[in-house]
Chain A
């Protein structure tokens, strides 16, 4: 029965990796070693990341956000139930969105993009600042009216063509 040279096998597998990929792997290995491998079985549960995870889980449990399970099967059943509930809630939201009219959708979008109005106002300020102040309102309105008449005349020509 032959023996497997794991070291040689590993060297062959990493031969095609770039320096950047090797550096990433090195960092991950170093991190893992620092966090877990260099500690004995008992000590690895006292690393900063483990203690933080344990503290967060305890706090979540105290808030009622986590439930204690008697078995892995019970936990998996609960997870599946939560998953089904989430899917059901998402479907209800999607149904509601599909029932909205165009106006409601627009209002929701504007509500979600509130800074859009601020950006538009800032753009308006920049454009207006570039217009020479000595041009009167009447001159502006006259120019605009003339441009619109030209465009509408073009449309009329196109429609008639």
Chain B
């Protein structure tokens, strides 16, 4: 069973915006299937809301 990790949206959004930082590295490790990202409809809804903010 692969490692399952829940990541806070702070980290996910930061990964999208800044290359090379720890959040980006974590995102790339997820894409390389080093672990399984566990999420939920509520987390995804919040993520969509945050990414749609003018500030972001």
Residues of chain A at the chain B interface (Cβ within 8 Å):
103, 106-107, 110, 117, 120-121, 124-125, 127-129, 131, 135, 137, 140-141, 143-148, 150-152, 154-155
The complex places the Cα of A15 from the Cα of B14 at a distance, in Å, of 67
B56 touches A128 (CB 8 A): no
Given contacts A106-B36, A128-B24, A148-B9, contact A140 B18 (CB under 8 A): yes
Q: Is the contact region of chain A dominated by helix, strand, or loop, or is it mixed?
A: helix
Which chain B residues border A146 with CB–CB below 8 Å? 55
Nearest chain-B residue to A143 (Cβ)?
A: B55
Is the beta-carbon distance between B16 and A127 smaller than 8 angstroms? yes
Q: How far is the CB of A119 from chain B (nearest CB, A)?
A: 10
**B46 touching A148 by the CB < 8 A rule?**
yes
The answer to the question of B31 belonging to the interface, with a C-beta cut-off of 8 Å to chain A, is yes
Closest to B13 in A: A144
Residues of A within 8 A of B36 (CB): 103, 106-107
Asked whether B32 lies within 8 Å of A150 as measured between CB atoms, the reply is: no
Q: Please tell me if the beta carbons of B55 and A137 are within 8 angstroms of each other in the complex.
A: no
Chain B residues within 8 Å of A140, by CB: 14, 17-18, 21
Across the two chains, which residue of chain A brings its CB closest to B2? A107
A131 to B56, CA, bound (A): 10
Q: Which of B28, B46, B50 contacts A121 (CB 8 A)?
A: B28
Give the Cβ gap from A17 to chain B, nearest Cβ, in Å.
52
Instruction: Collect the chain A residues with CB atoms within 8 Å of residue B9's CB.
Output: 148
**Are A144 and B14 closer than 8 Å at their CB atoms?**
yes
Report the bound CA distance from A135 to B13 in whole Å: 15
Residues in B neighbouring A129, C-beta threshold 8 A: 19
**What's the minimum C-beta distance from A131 to chain B, rounded to whole angstroms?**
5
Among the listed B1, B14, B18, B53, which residue makes an inter-chain contact with A151, where contact means beta carbons less than 8 Å apart?
A: B53
Asked if residues A148 and B33 are in contact (CB atoms below 8 Å), the reply is: no
**Can you spell out 29 A-B residue pairs with CB atoms less than 8 angstroms apart?**
A103-B4, A103-B36, A107-B36, A117-B31, A121-B31, A124-B15, A124-B24, A125-B19, A127-B16, A127-B17, A128-B18, A128-B19, A129-B19, A131-B17, A131-B19, A137-B14, A140-B17, A140-B18, A140-B21, A143-B56, A144-B13, A144-B50, A144-B56, A147-B13, A148-B10, A151-B49, A152-B46, A154-B49, A155-B46
